[in-house]
Amino acid sequence: MRFPRSSGILLHPTSLPGPYGSGDFGPAAYHFADWLTTAGQKMWQILPLGGIGPGNSPYMSNSAFAGNVLLIDLDDLRTQGWLTDDDLAPHPDFKQQRVNFGVVYHFRLEKLRIAAWRFFSGKHRRAEFQAFCQEEKSWLDDYSLFMALAEKFQWQDWNLWEQDLAWRNPTAMKRAAATLTPEVMFWNFCQWCFFRQWRQLKQYANQRGIQIIGDIPIFIAYQSAEVWARRDLFELGPDDLPSVVAGVPPDFFSETGQRWGNPLYRWPAHEQEGYAWWIERMRKTAALVDIVRIDHFRGFAAYWEIPAEEPTAVLGRWQPGPGEKLFGAIQEALGRLPIIAEDLGVVTPDVVALRDKFRLPGMRILQFAFSGETDNPYLPHNFLNNTVVYCGTHDNDTALGWFGSASQRERNFACKYLGCDGSEIHWDLIRAASQSVADIAIYPLQDILGLGSEHRMNLPGKQGGYWEWRFEWEQVDALHAERLYEITAVHGRCPTDRLLLPA
């Protein structure tokens, strides 16, 4: 699928400014949408919107369908009358430029519980809430009971719960649902708030000509509602633990590869039911965003299977993925969806064939462009139109950080290729991405602001200290938007109206 020539910014909502310890769907998100318009941008790319897992990663979600309750705008709940000014006094340990997840989680959950209690004590919007619960019943019932049980068992993995509940004995499940009704209703309330607020924010962005690029992780966490509810769809052993786990093999960046630890799919079971679980997952994601970026696309052609007992990814092996059978089933059920294939990593001919068969745009990262020769596929002169180009992604260093740690040869090649001296390498990469033939160009906000390595979002394979980056509006001035608009306009990614106005 071809997209109109355009560009945008990569920024997860948790990175937005705000008074409650992390960014959310509140006023700063609307202000950011306005800033994108001023800067001539038509895309806002985000990370997965699901709940976070180990290491606070949004790629280890506790549900394939539920939203991250930490993104709920608490100010909106005050407007609804479910929170007060006193409830929302900021915590002294909040940080403006980092998310302290331990503090933020407990603060926000406490406020959400207060809001839920007040909501259920009244009648305002109850019909709307009940309609949501009915519409989302296919996943919401399992998710909310899972979360209630996880709390009851002090967040132990579900295989350590009482056996009747771990194995979902119908009588035990019915009894638990009745006993834990208040807690189940609380999690229902949180999801209703999340989806109501997200749809309002997305509508606001769309009305301003901004499309949302969402992200669907290929895998979910073991400690998730869907693995608990559909054990048959995952490679679990007799003890209900994963027998094999996900990751990627050793490469230039890691001698031991990456052992992600997610359970792998039992693909024959998915095929037997016509890939219904994946079709529903894609349907729900496509309804939330305008364009879906599929994470680790190569894993659908072949994936790296690691024995669960192995501490690293070294002794894994390639296994065939579902390939075109899965994407054919999705296309037959849902039509041709607007999808971006994250085709990074070990790209073999079968990955390219799968991507091209469904005419999906792949990704190109400029930070990868200068380590080889002139035939490097990440150099702009080798791009195809049906491509999405990035200076870097959430997994890369910032442009300044990358350039500072690159080899002398890389830096020399980059400066010669870009026609620069490296003093503003972030803007040089932005300009190169913008003027390329790629249909979409995406820039991390860190590169617009010219920030160093301490502001990177993630470092693959490392636990702790990541996914925490935030910015403040004081870091953004009018020149950032003006300069980005000018680059965007002269390269045909937005109208030139303002650029060509008489002086």
Report the catalytic residues. Answer: 295, 342, 395
Distance CA 477, CA 458 (A): 25
Cα separation of 458 and 482, whole Å? 28
Q: Are 103 and 91 in contact (CB under 8 A)?
A: yes
**Tokens standing for 21?**
């310890």
**Number of other CB atoms surrounding residue 130 within 10 Å:** 12
Strands in 6-10's sheet, in edge-to-edge order, are: 339-341, 291-294, 211-216, 43-45, 6-10, 440-444, 387-390, 362-365
Q: Which amino acid is at 234?
A: F
Q: Which of 445, 421, 443 is nearest to 432 (CA)?
A: 443
- Do 195 and 121 form a contact (C-beta atoms < 8 A)? no
Q: What is the DSSP letter of 264?
A: P
Q: Tell me the C-alpha to C-alpha distance, in Å, between residue 347 and each of 164, 184, 301.
A: 44, 43, 10
Cβ count within 10 A of residue 482:
15
Distance CA 115, CA 77 (A): 7
Q: Enumerate the H helices of 345-477 as residue ranges.
A: 349-357, 399-405, 408-418, 425-435, 445-448
The string of DSSP letters for 24-90 reads: -SSHHHHHHHHHHHHTT--EEE----SPP-GGG-TTS-S-SS---GGGS-HHHHHHTTSS-TGGGPP
The dihedral through the CA atoms of 192, 194, 197, 198 has a sign that is negative
Compute the distance between CA of residue 251 and CA of residue 259 in angstroms, rounded to an integer: 13
Angle between helices 126-135 and 137-152 (to 10 degrees): 100
> Strand runs (DSSP E) across 264-376, as ranges?
291-294, 302-307, 317-320, 339-341, 362-365
